[in-house]
Structure 1
Amino acid sequence: MKIGLRILCGYFLVVGLAAWFLLNVFMEQVKPGVRSTLEDTLVDTSQLLAALVASDIRDGKLDDSIVLRRMQHYAQRAIDVNINGVRKRSLDYRITITDRHGLVLFDSTGRDVGRDYSRWNDVYLTLQGKYGARSTRSDPDDEMSTVMHVAAPIRDAGEIVGVLTVAKPNASVQAFVERSQRIILQRGAILLLLSLLIGLAFAWWLHQALGKLMAYIGAVEAGRKATLPPLGNSEIGILGRALDAMRTRLEGKEYVEQLMHTLTHELKSPIAAIQASAELLQEDMPAEERSRFLGSILEQNARQRQLIDKLLALVRVEKQQRLDAPEPIAVAPLLAQVAQDAAASLAARGVQLKVQAIDAQVPGDALLLRQALGNLLENAIGFAPQGSRIDLRAATSGQGIAISVRDRGEGIPPYAQERVFERFYSLPRPSSGKSTGLGLPFVREVALLHGGTAQVGNHDEGGALARLWLPLA
């Protein structure tokens, strides 16, 4: 599992658990909270009504009590109110009054007058001077039928002479409980969705940044040309720049060590030849031999200069990770320039060059491509039999242009086919011995800089075939 997905899953798990916990707490607390509010209201109501009927209870005027008559008939009033989206069309209070023995003296519904309520907690506790309240199901099999009863003492000269109980069904506030729970669930779902979207956005950003960094690391590990992509000023950007700086230092150190080793190895032969010729020149010898040794010194010196020049050119393209300002290059004029550059070598070898170009353009660096194609053509001339023909042609291939150089020589032997792009590796040429072995590595680096490929092999009909493929865009 990728790190971005793991972070997203972990983030969503934490957010989901937190949301579940909070929603669960809120959902569990809504019903008790609403019922506590209802009980608080019943306490105030019962205390107020107990104070209003205290004189009538004391004087024994229950039948003539205006307050009690109004209590009995209040529920008949028609109402239609909207409380925060909840419709209320009935009045739900039930009021009972008991004497000091718990016998019901008054019932606003008229059902239980004369019954003994002394065993109910609301009456029993209130007669003892305690706070009396209870919740009782009106239907034993229906959990939603509970009714809350809150009692208040009726006093005469400080003595409890009765109990007034105000009852209200819990179902009357159930709509408010459900509404609150529904709103909590909706808002919780929205919060969870927003959290998920934020997590997805963060995971996407992290995936993009890490993907760019991993692609860069993969390219470096594979030895391809690669430049650090823009990663911003985040910790990932700082890490990427640190890795790039480390890569530059390590590659530079390794490159210098390898370069010095190979250069030392390649320069040993011409230096030894120059040293031997110079020592022999110190002795007396015929002018003809002296001239031959001087020619050897000049030849070996030219070989050293050519080796160093080509090595410096190769170093430049190897250390270059991308083209700074690629421009559109017309293929036909480019091949014409390469052919013109090789005219003298072709004439010296008596080799013909056949050029086939197409009207197309590729983005890149004209000078580097000219040098790379010049190296391919120089190799072909070196291995082409005298009087033979070399084909230089360009053709469309997939989403790019393939430029090929074919000679009619003996081709590349099997043992050398895997090593032709190695630095300093070369095969003896029929006319001039070995080359510096830096031409094909240069071609490969130029191809990589242009996002293309370089291949060298044998043609089916004989001879070697070098191919440089360049993308159109």
Structure 2
Amino acid sequence: MTRRTRIFIGILLIYTAGIAFLLYRVVSDIDPRYRESAEESLVETSQLVASLVEQDVIAGAINTARLEPLFRTVYAREFSAQIYNLHKSRVELRVYVTDRSGRVMFDSLGRNLGADYSQWSDVSRTLAGLYGARTSRDVDGDPRTSVMYVGAPIRWNNEIVGMVSVGKPVQSFGQFVEDARGRTIWVGVGSALALLLLTLIVSVWLVRPFGLIRDYWTWVRAQNRVGSLSLSRMARRAVDGVRTGFNEMRDALTGRNYVADYVQTFTHEVKSPLSAIRGAAELLQEPSMPHAERERFLKNIERETQRIQEIVDRMMELTALETRRTLDRTDAVALGPLIEDIVLSAQPAAAKRNIRLLVNIRDGARAEGDPFLLRRAISNLLDNAIDFSPRDSEVLLTLETTSKLARVSVRDHGPGIPEYAQEKVFQKFYSLARPHNQKKSTGLGLAFVKEIAALHRGRIELGNASRGGAVATLTLPLLAASHH
């Protein structure tokens, strides 16, 4: 995983964590807000019932005779009320009345007549002239049986002679709470996904408004001219275009800047050869330098200049490749003949150290792609294998296929890849010294191969072989009809 990808994933994780925290705060605040609303309603109801009871107070004595038939009738009423998603068909309100000592004189449910409620906060505080409320459970340990109570004083001649407490089961409005939580979560998640989708659309259609469409239309016309257009290939091309847009969005979010990145790496890489050139130039100014020494320093300058030129050329190639969204044109590439031709071209370099190039093509295969780029990719892998192979050894190129994939493997019998380098081999400018001359390459070859593989919807892997040496495997999707 590259550093930029890790940064992009980090941004997504921070964004997700922020949305999750916001949803948590909103969802956790729903229940208290509903309780506040329910309690406010109970305050008014308790004051109403207390005023009703006060009408029958005689000489400070509370008379609850009219309440019993009233609530018997209320509980027996038949009705049907559809409150949004909640269907209500019975009254769940409950009321009890206590005297000034806190003993229950009336209970609408008929359960606790004569009970001492003086210790309940709604009773004790109301009888003391304060606001009293509580939430208690009918069944210990079962939060679903919680009931919210609010008290109101019963007065006679400005003296508190008792109290009324009006209760309502929390579960009656708990359904609204659960429904609100569910809707809030869905709206939050939907909004977050919509924002991500909008970001992608902005990246694809506003940042690069016509480029992807133009490239796709150009490709369709080119394929139609050669008669190789099919619905499956058009769909794959469209998916590639969307993936390219996503990558551009990722690069924009992570601040990908090719100029700054390459200036930094280029400065680092050319510092060594420039130092060598400057040192040689200073020594050449000595008039007494022998001719042989002068020739040696001139060759050093020429060699280091060539190295800088090679770095510049490879950087320009890699930059041009990385900025391509998709392949401009594709052909059906026969991989077997391509590999044989690459091996034939590499024979002279291998023969210098008596390295034998072996080919094992187990199956004919065709891939859709750019023949020039695929040749460059496989040639680069073969050149690396030759460079790291000992004298009088072998390099084996293998082509094998599965139902949908073609695998081109290049195996050498060199020292393999050190453990410390296995995570770095595809990084730009990272290179290991060649065993036979201890020289390093530009370190851009494998990065070049990786970009070619990505453009062809494939992948490149490099690891150590089981019996020594290294093996590089380029995996490519087969052309739709090549494996039938």
TM-score where L is the length of structure 2:
0.49
Larger Rg: 1
TM-score where L is the length of structure 1:
0.50
